[in-house]
A and B are shown apart, each in its own frame.
Chain A
Amino acid sequence: DQQVKQNSPSLSVQEGRISILNCDYTNSMFDYFLWYKKYPAEGPTFLISISSIKDKNEDGRFTVFLNKSAKHLSLHIVPSQPGDSAVYFCAATLDSWGKFQFGAGTQVVVTP
């Protein structure tokens, strides 16, 4: 059973605009969340994280929002750039061993 879901398999956004990626989870015990970015034929790279004690974390153009009551996570990229075109995975964990549950990913395409 998929505990972390990214219901939008793809997203197309114009350069300079905001990209909003969504992620829903079912396990209310998850206490740490991350976003990874993945280019084709490469391993994912860490982008940004958020602990369950916060509702927002910002790093440059990337902001992650956490709504615990709705079990919803989102990533905002502002402004979107062509180099942001990649697959974005959200991940969650409740485990002391760092066993993350990953969503299926959202393919972002930033057009000029």
Chain B
Amino acid sequence: SQTIHQWPATLVQPVGSPLSLECTVEGTSNPNLYWYRQAAGRGLQLLFYSVGIGQISSEVPQNLSASRPQDRQFILSSKKLLLSDSGFYLCAWSAGTSGGSDTQYFGPGTRLTVL
């Protein structure tokens, strides 16, 4: 069966510090991968998605970046965090076989607080 991992579960970082959140998927090959953010009182905002190694598409301009160094690894980074980067970050995967009708499966999330 497929499993998706995210770490860390919680993170408190000062403004201006770097960020690296990691997501890995097990039990599937060549998944589509997604990073979402849920800010307080708001819905899920798609940040990045990837259909393959090294292929990253950004949905929202911001000071975050994403990378996919391996097939089942997706990393969200920032060189300098802003207060507005606080939120709940979710990684998701889909099989990528049915295009838009693929169900996405979410990881447990990372709660990021920027102080």
A contact residues vs B (CB 8 Å cutoff): 2, 4, 6, 9, 31-32, 34, 36, 41-46, 49, 51, 89, 91, 93-105
Contact = CB atoms under 8 A, between A and B. Distances in A.
A98 B102 contact: yes
Nearest to A96: B99
Contact of B94 (A31, A44, A98): A98
Given A41-B111, A44-B44, A99 B106 contact: no
Nearest to A2: B43
Size category of the B interface is 20 to 34
Given A44-B90, A97-B51, A99-B49, A49 B103 contact: yes
Interface of B is mostly: strand
B109 A43 contact: yes
12 contacts: A2-B43, A41-B108, A41-B111, A44-B90, A49-B101, A91-B44, A93-B100, A93-B101, A97-B57, A101-B46, A102-B46, A104-B41
Interface of B: 4, 6, 32, 34, 36, 41-46, 49, 51, 57, 59, 90, 92, 94, 96, 99-109, 111
Give the residue among A4, A96, A98 with the most B Cβ atoms within 10 A: A98
B43 A96 contact: no
B96 A98 contact: yes
Given A89-B43, A97-B51, A98-B32, A43 B100 contact: no
Contact of A44 (B32, B99, B102, B106): B106
A10 to B, nearest CB: 11
A35 to B, nearest CB: 11
Contacts of A49: 101, 103
Contacts of A93: 100-101
A105 B103 contact: no
A35 B32 CA distance: 19
B80 to A, nearest CB: 27
A73 to B, nearest CB: 14
Contacts of B107: 43
